[in-house]
Copies of this chain bind each other. A is one copy, B any other.
């Protein structure tokens, strides 16, 4: 059995949702794109730009018309929206396929089960495109945003195979590389590679900004510091919500990091030259290998 994908509803029309609609229109994956959200100007702008064909502020209408609902709202809003949808379609309906693009998966799975009396809705397939831009909003949307980027799907037991396939096909048609992973693995991996680095960058910049010689510190900082702290310019509200949604995995990642930092601190305190060199060299080897992987994936040569 195959499911239709003719009409895609984008719930939350920003950079990610707008880019997805544009990519799917350009690939011919779907013919009709409806926007939904609470900010009418963004939706009007989306129609003006030809990103969506139409929009509605009425969730029931959107659910009624769409074959696929893609929740592109921020992490905590996404969980609310998912519950509102599931309260309407139930958990075993032959309604639309539901997916999302949020940064954390565990909180959405929990929200879904809560809305469905502990069951997993068979047509809910959680996903996460690892792509972004320093710009935001539908005006910044780009049909090429996902090309050569990874999209992680986290199908679970109880998922309808055809629904998983439809969501996979949707992302493949944007030029993305689609991989599958368990929900807990996804959240641990994202905590390590994204959520923890953001927390570290915020903590470092805040510590330095509050220190006595902060003027001299920022005046004398150079390129390495600029790269290292760039992510501390990210949206505080978005990252607050991600930290809340992925609390446990983030705490684990912070603790793992702190343990390693503590060991390195001890090596510095002891002037343990061999220990430091060993750690630095091991890290350099891992980072150099990561550069090679990135370059092979064509995700930019600046490694």
Return the contact of A261 from the options B130, B209, B258 (Cβ within 8 A). B258
Would A227 and B231 count as touching, CB distance under 8 A? yes
Would B233 and A291 count as touching, CB distance under 8 A? yes
Given contacts A131-B222, A194-B222, A229-B290, 6 further A-B contacts (CB under 8 A): A189-B220, A201-B287, A206-B286, A226-B294, A233-B284, A254-B261
Q: Interface residues, chain A, CB within 8 Å of chain B?
A: 130-132, 149-150, 152, 179, 181, 185, 188-190, 192-194, 196-209, 211, 213-214, 216-237, 239-240, 243-244, 247, 250-251, 254-261, 264-265, 268-269, 271, 273, 276-277, 279-284, 286-291, 293-294, 299-300, 302-303
Would B261 and A200 count as touching, CB distance under 8 A? yes
Tell me the dominant secondary structure on chain A's binding face: helix
Could you tell me the distance between the alpha carbons of A238 and B225 in the complex, rounded to whole angstroms?
A: 17
Q: A182 to nearest B CB, angstroms?
A: 10
Q: Which residues of B have CB within 8 Å of A294?
A: 226
Would A247 and B269 count as touching, CB distance under 8 A? yes
Would B279 and A206 count as touching, CB distance under 8 A? yes
With A131-B222, A200-B204: A251-B268 Cβ-Cβ less than 8 Å: yes
Could you tell me the distance between the alpha carbons of A70 and B237 in the complex, rounded to whole angstroms?
A: 50
Q: Which residues of B have CB within 8 Å of A234?
A: 280, 284
Chain B, residue nearest A294 (CB): B226
Could you tell me the distance between the alpha carbons of A273 and B247 in the complex, rounded to whole angstroms?
A: 11
Q: Which residues of B have CB within 8 Å of A220?
A: 130, 150, 152, 179, 189-190, 193
Q: Which residues of B have CB within 8 Å of A247?
A: 268-269, 271
Chain B, residue nearest A281 (CB): B236
Could you tell me the distance between the alpha carbons of A237 and B281 in the complex, rounded to whole angstroms?
A: 8
Could you tell me the distance between the alpha carbons of A152 and B222 in the complex, rounded to whole angstroms?
A: 12
